Structure 1
Amino acid sequence: MTYPNVHLAHFIDRPNRFIATCRLCETQEIVTVHVKNTGRCKELFHPEVEVALSYQPSPKRKTDYDLIAVKKNQAWINIDSQVPNALASQAILDGTIVLPDLKGNITSLKREKRFAQSQFDIFIETDLGERAFVEVKGMTLEHHQIGAFPDAPTIRGLKHVTELIDAIKEGYQSYVLFIVQFENIQTATIHTNMQPALADMLLLGQTQGLKVLAYNCSVTPDTIAVEHQVPFDVNEMFEDPNSER
């Protein structure tokens, strides 16, 4: 994915989950921007950190800019919570993302499919009669090249995993797919200290056929692209960079 009209800026502050104040590098103008991620992202939003803004003015918008990426050390992390689903769908169809144990060729991929009380991100059918649900989660939290999810407790995420397990019992293939929105990562895991119930449910699901996958992305200020699969291990120890913030 390529974003239009991207400008570099420096982050000043974040009054609430939805907006931030930034200073454009080119003109030094102070602008209010929409943050395309309602998560905490405390480890990313330090004063004066470099950020990427996409300029998309519209009479229907309250702000002219979207904050889409943050520079951490020397690498960019994309924080757009809307992009993982689109990336996943495209990468599954073009073969960049491979869903293990899915038999046959994909004949249909649909976005947003309801099952029980959940709306799963992707529903797939194959020419051998396989049906599969894929729940996509964006991952932006990182420390010492270990990526973790979530950065805040997610009741919705826990419900999704529970109902993916139920879908397996009814003959579906079920997958949790983490789109890691940065490149430098050795292992992906669950932030167990943040939400132990989610880690427990994933471990249970894996014993019953739930497949958990993670793919990293190459990121620049104005682009993001799926790269390759990275190891996922629920039991990997994760040190929260925000524990002292």
Structure 2
Amino acid sequence: MELLKLDRPEACTIVERLNRFVVEVRVGGKLSLARITNTGRLRDYLVAGRVGYCLPNRGKTNYRLVAVEDLAGAALIDTDLQMKSFEAALRAGALRWAPCEIISRSPRVGSSRLDYLLRCRGTNKYVELKSAVLRDGDFAMYPDCPTLRGRRHISELIGLAEKGIKAMIVFVAALPGVRAFKPYREGDPEVSVLLGKAVELGVEVRAFSIHYDPDASVVVLDREELEVVI
């Protein structure tokens, strides 16, 4: 199922990551800078010589790197597009485990802002999305590095569940050919512990898979629900 159509994507070649937010790329034979929205290490993707896909960008960089070749398609590394894909899937009713509508974005919970407050079959539910773009065979994984922000968000969801408030974390497995999700313990052992606690206390943990199809310039929903192995 097609979720998003990208406007004017250009193939590029990754040269090197310069810092947390900028990658040097080669577009049409010329070196340029591309912004990245994903602050993970992306060690399997930000590799010199890999083919990526960039969108025109306004600001300090000419481009935004949104996807990188993987298997027969591409991994969608851009977190903004991952969120838009989730929203498109919600609107289309493509996620049967999420018969929901968006009440608000970036609701404040404790010292954090989560991604969504949804209304699901008459019940409010706080939802946080996380980007799972690390592969282990058929598994997508998160996180690929220590994440204080990720720990804080999971802790906030646990706090909500302890008060009897509905809470859910959704892992966006944004790479082709995966069938399940699991936490990457080596990336951040504490996240794995917190996820286990979250499940015990009633936080809903879900995952679905998407990828970018460079031939059609679209983001595709692969599997509406992945097995979650905590």
Instruction: Indicate whether the TM-score tops 0.5.
Output: yes
Tell me if 1:124 matches 2:118. yes
Structure 2 residue corresponding to 1:225, chosen from 212, 220, 223: 220
The alpha-carbon distance between structure 1 residues 218 and 165, as it changes in their structure 2 partners (threshold 3 A), is same
Q: Which has the larger radius of gyration?
A: 1
Any stretches of 5+ residues in structure 2 without a counterpart? none
Any stretches of 5+ residues in structure 1 without a counterpart? 235-245
**TM-score normalised by the chain length of structure 1:** 0.83
The alpha-carbon distance between structure 1 residues 53 and 108, as it changes in their structure 2 partners (threshold 3 A), is closer
The Cα of 1:76 is off from its aligned counterpart by 0.6
Q: Identity of counterpart residues, as a percentage?
A: 20
Q: Give me the whole-angstrom Cα distance separating, in 2, the residues matched to 1:108 and 1:166.
A: 21
Return 142-151 or 90-99, whichever deviates more. Answer: 90-99
The alpha-carbon distance between structure 1 residues 169 and 35, as it changes in their structure 2 partners (threshold 3 A), is closer
Return 80-89 or 203-212, whichever deviates more. Answer: 80-89
Partner of 2:94: helix, strand, or coil? coil
Q: Give me the whole-angstrom Cα distance separating, in 2, the residues matched to 1:85 and 1:72.
A: 20
Q: Which residue of 2 aligns with 1:69?
A: 67
Which structure 2 residues correspond to residues 161-240 of structure 1 after superposition, within 5 A?
Answer: 161-221=154-214, 222-227=217-222, 228-234=224-230
Partner of 1:229: helix, strand, or coil? coil
The Cα of 1:30 is off from its aligned counterpart by 2.0
Partner of 2:114: helix, strand, or coil? strand
Partner of 1:148: helix, strand, or coil? strand
**8 A contact 1:146–1:188 mirrored in 2:** yes
**8 A contact 2:185–2:191 mirrored in 1:** yes
Letter in 1 for 2:65: L
**TM-score normalised by the chain length of structure 2:** 0.88
Q: Give me the whole-angstrom Cα distance separating, in 2, the residues matched to 1:108 and 1:186.
A: 27
The Cα of 1:111 is off from its aligned counterpart by 1.1
Q: Which residue of 1 aligns with 2:84?
A: 86
**8 A contact 1:84–1:137 mirrored in 2:** no
Q: Which residue of 2 aligns with 1:147?
A: 140
Letter in 2 for 1:203: G
**8 A contact 1:168–1:209 mirrored in 2:** yes
The Cα of 1:72 is off from its aligned counterpart by 2.5
Q: Which residue of 2 aligns with 1:49?
A: 50
Which structure 2 residues correspond to residues 33-44 of structure 1 after superposition, within 5 A?
Answer: 33-44=34-45
Residues 201-227 of structure 1 deviation map (CA, whole Å, 9 limit, x = unaligned) = 111111121111000013223322333
Partner of 1:37: helix, strand, or coil? coil
Residues 113-157 of structure 1 deviation map (CA, whole Å, 9 limit, x = unaligned) = 1122221111123564x2211111111111312111011111111
The alpha-carbon distance between structure 1 residues 106 and 79, as it changes in their structure 2 partners (threshold 3 A), is closer
Aligned length: 224
Partner of 2:79: helix, strand, or coil? coil
The alpha-carbon distance between structure 1 residues 34 and 177, as it changes in their structure 2 partners (threshold 3 A), is same
Tell me if 1:114 matches 2:108. yes
